[in-house]
Each structure stands twice: as structure tokens, then as C-alpha cells.
Amino acid sequence: MELGTADASHGERARGWLSVTDHPTGGSERLPVVIVEGATKGPTLWLTGGVHGDEATGVAVALDAVEAVDPRKLSGTIACIPVVNPAGLRRNARASYYNDEDPNRFFPDPAAESAAPAEVQQRIDEQVYETIADTADAMIDLHTATVGSMPFAIRDRVLYGTHRSEAEATELATQLETLIDAFGHPSVTEYQAAEYLEEGLQRSTAGAVLNTAGIPAFTAELGGHSVVTEELRAGGVAGVHGVARELGMLDSLPEDVDPPAEIVTDSPVDFRVRRERGPRTDTAGLVRHRLGAGEVFSEGDPLVDVVSPTGDHLETVTADGDGYVIGRAEGLASYEGDPIASTAIRDETDLVAKRDDWPQPITASSRVATDLCKAWSTSTKWGTKRLIDTLVWIETRGTVG
């Protein structure tokens, strides 16, 4: 594989840079890239980190996961951009100084085209997306959440409509669940579909690769920001190698990498959950938490007390459903309507959701060309399945002229 200035032959590791924009005063913004090209053919697993510049553990996991792989024992390719947002990393900030908005909301979405020309952060994100979508069979985007939060993997909703059928979305959701299970961390389904779209999460790194490109992709949230948490770093590296093994890229884990099950804490509950930002306060004041990250609650249980600066009790906020605390909201002060925590709530909603605002389907020729190329270049069960799916698609819709 060749990526920017990095070019790896079979059985090699290569490092280099991918230039994504020029600076007005000279020089360019370069993203670091690492390629591990296996000795034999197989799938391509992509890793990204540092989309938010202050999320240090994700960067460390990306770097250490590719470093631990022996190219001679790998089937396929691991491609990695450990720092997607160097402009944020340089100042330990979530956003880049190209745009003070969330840089993880500018990846392509067929239904979100704007008449306004794309500015620099969107252009960078689109370049990263195209690079991934052209080559990936699976992707993991490595992040961190709030201070003191527990690690987990986010399972995005798979959207269907004119872009893909409900059956195709269900199959993609099944592939995604298999990879998340292999990652070995507690799994939390993303917000319900309406909120998912309102938040623009289909334009996140993993959301776009999953829902626009149709490639299994998920986000890993690995504790708090700004510092590397060693046990969560080790768990993230183990999870990446668990996914690579599931894809048939590794026969076994490297000697210095423990199985995820041995170092990652299990989910605190045995039912499916979704991510929720809340519950929320009705009263302004100081928040005093009753539960910490990973602690379980039932619907109606008290989670926090809101008190005045002089200590008077103002409100007790209770749980909206059964679940557990992912992490407390940062800070002591809270205004009316502020979320007091990030929680995982019992979820029985569908993992696939219809989307009505998608444009017309992609052309037969572009889909067939892309899928056949990827299928022929992949010798594992994932590549074989992609080839079969494409041939079935041709059969049901007619040949390409």
C-alpha cells in the first residue's frame, strides 16, 4: 500500500506523511501515517486517532497497536492515521484552529450537501474519508470521552433508504456487531435515530465510513482526555488486535498483547443499552453525584443532588431508565437543563433505521467497480462475502452497460 509518502511492500512497515492543506505562510499541514503490509493478502483494517486534538489515549492506542504487529505474521494491511487533527493536538484542544466547530462533523454525507463551498476543515475531513473509503474493509476510530469515564465502543445506527435496502442495512449491522464483540469492550448503541441525525453523527469519522461508504466502522471511547491512561491504552491495543484476529488477519495475538477479556472490564449489565446525555437538571446549582462511572442504577434511582452554593438542597435528579453511568459531566456548576452525566440506558429500539432524505442511489457502475476491486484483493471470508454480495446485486438489478 502507498499512502502519502509511506510505501510498504509485503512484509514491511512504512511511516510517512499525508499532506492535506497548505499554510498561508508556507509549509503544509501533514498527517502522520503508518502502514503495516502483511506478508500475505487479506483485508485492510484502518485505525484513526486524534480526531479531537485533546484525546491522548486514542493516539497512543493507534501508535502502539500498529507497532505491536509483526508484518511477517499479518495477512492483509493495517493502515493508520494516528493524529487526524494535528492543529488541535498542538494546542491540546478538541477542535482545530481551522474551524472552532467539532472536526468530527465534516465527513461526507450524501444528504448534507451545501451550496456553500467547503472550507479547510471539511476539505481535510473529505480527503481523510476518501482515503479510507477507497481501501478499507473495516475501521476503528479511537477517541476518549469525559474525565473519569469508563471505556466503551459505540455502535452507530445503520441507516437505510434509497442508498441501501433494509436487508443490506441489517447485514451491515451484523458485521459491525461482530467486530465490536471482537474489540472486547462494553458496547453502547448510539443515540436514537432522530437524535443521531440531529447531532450530525452520520458525519463523524466512523458514522460516514459506516453509513456513506457501507464499511463496518465503530468509535472506541477510551476514558478521559488530555493524558494517556495506561490500563485503557493496553485495553485498546488488545481490542484492535482482537478485531484483526476476527478479520482473519492474525492467527494469534502478539506476545506482549493480552486478550481483551483479560484486561477489559465487562459491561456492568447484561442487556443492550444506548448512549444518553442525561438525565438533566431542572434547577441551577452545584451537582453532587451519588454514583460513579460503571455503577448500575434502576429507573427512578437518585443519581445526583443539586445544592445551592450555601449547601441548601434544591433537587434530586433520578434515572430515566435502567442502566449505568458511563461518566459524570465535567464541572461542579450546572444550569437548568444541563446533563448531569453520560449514561447507558436500556435500549430495545432497532439497530437499523430508515432515512427518508437520502438522494438517489449510487450508480451501478461505480458500486460494481468498487466492490469487485475490493473483493478480488481480499482473500478472507470478508472479501469472499463482498464478492458474492456484489454478484447477487448485479443479478437482481441487471448487468452494467
Report the pLDDT value the prediction gives residue 383, as an integer from 0 to 100: 52
Handedness of CA 168, 169, 174, 175 (dihedral sign): positive
d(CA 295, CA 286): 21
d(CA 114, CA 126): 14
pTM of the model: 0.88
How many percent of the chain have pLDDT more than 70?
88
DSSP-assigned states of every residue in 299-335: TT-EEEEEE-TT--EEEEEE-SSSEEEEEEPSSSEE-
d(CA 322, CA 299): 5
Residues with Cβ within 8 Å of 366's Cβ and at least 6 positions away in sequence, in order, are none
Per-residue pLDDT in tens (0 to 9) along the chain, 401 residues: 999 999 999 999 999 999 999 999 999 999 999 999 999 999 999 999 999 999 999 999 999 999 999 999 999 999 999 999 999 999 999 999 998 899 999 999 988 766 678 899 999 999 999 999 999 999 999 999 988 999 999 999 999 998 899 999 999 999 999 999 999 999 999 999 999 999 999 999 999 999 999 999 999 999 999 999 999 999 999 999 999 999 999 999 998 899 998 999 999 999 999 999 999 999 999 999 999 999 999 999 999 999 999 999 999 999 999 999 999 999 999 999 999 999 999 999 999 999 876 654 443 344 444 444 444 444 444 555 555 554 544 444 443 33
d(CA 211, CA 220): 17
| Contact yes or no for 297/323 (Cβ under 8 A) | yes
Q: What are phi and psi of 296, to 5 degrees?
A: -95, 145
How far CA 77 is from CA of 193, 228, 292, in Å, comes to 33, 26, 39
The CA-CA-CA angle for residues 280, 284, 287, to 5°, reads 65
Report the pLDDT value the prediction gives residue 376, as an integer from 0 to 100: 45
Report the pLDDT value the prediction gives residue 26, as an integer from 0 to 100: 94
Report the pLDDT value the prediction gives residue 162, as an integer from 0 to 100: 86
Report the pLDDT value the prediction gives residue 104, as an integer from 0 to 100: 96
Report the pLDDT value the prediction gives residue 301, as an integer from 0 to 100: 98
Strand partners, 32: 17
Cell numbers standing for residue 174: 451484523
- pLDDT tens, residue by residue, 43-69: 999 999 999 999 999 999 999 999 999
Report the pLDDT value the prediction gives residue 357, as an integer from 0 to 100: 67
Provide the angle, in degrees to the nearest 10, between the axes of the packed helices 166-183 and 230-246. Answer: 130
Report the pLDDT value the prediction gives residue 366, as an integer from 0 to 100: 42
Exposure b/e, 180-208, CB count within 10 A at least 16 = b: bebbbbbbbbbbbbeebbebbbbbbbbbb
Type of residue at 257: V
Q: Give the total residue count for the chain.
A: 401
Report the pLDDT value the prediction gives residue 374, as an integer from 0 to 100: 44
Q: Please compute Rg for the chain using Cα positions.
A: 21
